[in-house]
Amino acid sequence: MTRLEHLGAARLRAGLDEAFALIAGRFKRREVRLRARSCIEGLLSGLERKTSWSLAEYAGEATPDGMQRLFSTAKWDVDGTRDDVRGYVTAHLGQAEGVLVGDDTGFEKKGVHSAGVQRQYTGTAGKVTNCQIGVFLGYATSRGRAILDRELYLPAASWIADPPRCATAKVPAQVGFATKPQLLQAMIERTIVAGVPFGWVTADEAYGDNGPLRLFLESRQLAYVLAVARDHRISTRTGPIRADTMTGQIPKAGWQRLSCGPGAKGERRYDWALVATTSPAHHLLIRRSITRPGELAYFLCHTPNPAPLPELVRVAGARWTIEECFQTAKNEIGMDHYQVRLYPAWYRYMTLAMLALAFLAVTRAALSHEPQEEPRPSRPRPQQNLITISVNEIRRLYAQLTRPPLDERHAHRWSQWRQRHQTGARRAHYRRQQTKDR
């Protein structure tokens, strides 16, 4: 492993310069371009909350107006930037056996004005709550993992069926209702057109149980390992059988104990069984917990070319990588800290957050593949058996090594600005309350 002393401020800044240079041409005005760079630096910083206010203060600006314009009205090519982020990830992490990972995550929000917000279930909170849902396409290889694409889910009844509400949130008129699997399919199509190397697609039950999505992947001859529900029916010689019914028909010798990849606490070992169907390209993969045999998971596999069980297990295990991306993006980069309401603003914030996350993943990959430095025989080897540095630790190092010097006058000006804003907001709330009481 490369010594951490090599990961200094100059190297980190140079790495971010390289990443930002790829998207710099998407910003026509120098002012907007510099502000976007400052925004990404703020996302990588140690700020407690990464809102327009805090990002603007970190960037040395006098008010949040400019940062808010970056997300709302400033002119820049957000989809082109997304494509550049995808190219950056592909250039540094791309592998032919890479896995596209689809999933969605929730962003809890107050109020009713944020695009796509409504009371709906999100696994992030584990309950029905007021939130937005974003659908994302992750990319996982042995070199690292990152997020390639993003789409905001707009509910049919509360949003698409209410054109005035959509217009207020700046939802383009041509945007119609699309289910989450349809949004994922659109992102996969863009990835194919872009020439991203990958060999597999995986996702959870919400996508695996969607027939049209599976048919789309099969029509493109794409291999997949998709989670399906226990009542999913597979075709056998004796007729359709539920997935959970097949479990009881597997002999003891039909199970193999394999790891689906390393986890935080060691190898993630399970018992696995592969069940044939009437289609030579389709199999049912069953995962059984070793310590709790009653805990089962089911995966439908489509393999245009035969694939061994360990390979299917590897792909099934790759699904957790997007959960890791979400966790890092939210905890370290502030992906869920945004305070934007407009539909275009959501895409702008997410795209810049994706670049910040990709920068961390690429930096980690570069460190992991550098040749080990041979220490002098007389020197101790305190770092000999350290694990590979995490993207979280790289983000913390970036924050510590590149933070701007403290400017007390700037800090006090911002404190006074916040007080004035909060005073005005409270006065407006009191006026509205008095109006209601009359």
By DSSP bridging, strand 118-122 and strand 127-141 are antiparallel
Q: What is the pLDDT of residue 2?
A: 44
Are the C-beta atoms of residues 227 and 204 closer than 8 Å to each other?
yes
**Between 91 and 3, whose confidence is greater?**
91
Q: 242-267: per-residue pLDDT in tens?
A: 999 999 899 999 999 999 988 777 89
For residues 307-330, give the mean pLDDT: 96
d(C-alpha 102, C-alpha 188), whole Å: 9
300: nearest Cα among 275, 320, 283: 283
For residues 117-125, give the mean pLDDT: 91
Main-chain dihedrals φ then ψ at residue 103, nearest 5 degrees? -170, 165
Average pLDDT of the chain, as a whole number: 92
Q: 151-201: per-residue pLDDT in tens?
A: 999 999 999 999 999 999 999 999 999 999 999 999 999 999 999 999 999
Q: 37-54: per-residue pLDDT in tens?
A: 999 999 999 999 999 999
Residue 72 has pLDDT above 60, yes or no: yes
SS3 240: strand
Residue percentage of the chain with pLDDT more than 90: 79
d(C-alpha 89, C-alpha 250), whole Å: 41
C-alpha separations of 382 from 2, 6, 58, 198 in Å? 13, 16, 36, 38
* Lookup result for tokens 């896995």: 99
Under DSSP, the state recorded for 198 is: -
Residue 433 has pLDDT above 80, yes or no: no
pLDDT band for position 377 (cuts 50, 70, 90): low
Q: What is the pLDDT of residue 414?
A: 79
Q: At what angle do helices 343-368 and 30-43 cross, to 10 degrees?
A: 60
* Region for 111 from its dihedrals, namely left if φ exceeds 0, alpha if ψ lies in -120 to 50, beta otherwise: left
Residue 380 has pLDDT above 60, yes or no: no
Which pair of tokens denotes residue 282? 């389709």
Residue 335 has pLDDT above 90, yes or no: yes
Q: What is the pLDDT of residue 233?
A: 94
pLDDT band for position 384 (cuts 50, 70, 90): low
By DSSP bridging, strand 224-228 and strand 233-236 are unpaired
Give the DSSP per-residue string, 16-39: HHHHHHHHGGGB-SHHHHHHHHHH
d(C-alpha 203, C-alpha 213), whole Å: 11
**Between 428 and 17, whose confidence is greater?**
17
C-alpha separations of 2 from 17, 110, 193, 363, 384 in Å? 21, 45, 36, 12, 10
Q: What is the pLDDT of residue 7?
A: 79
Q: What is the pLDDT of residue 126?
A: 87
Are the C-beta atoms of residues 355 and 85 closer than 8 Å to each other?
yes
Residues 6+ apart with CB under 8 A from 358: 19, 85, 88, 89, 146, 147
C-alpha separations of 259 from 233, 311, 324 in Å? 26, 11, 18
Q: What is the pLDDT of residue 1?
A: 41
Q: What is the pLDDT of residue 343?
A: 98
pLDDT band for position 411 (cuts 50, 70, 90): confident
Are the C-beta atoms of residues 37 and 19 closer than 8 Å to each other?
no
260: nearest Cα among 247, 250, 251, 271: 271
Are the C-beta atoms of residues 100 and 190 closer than 8 Å to each other?
no
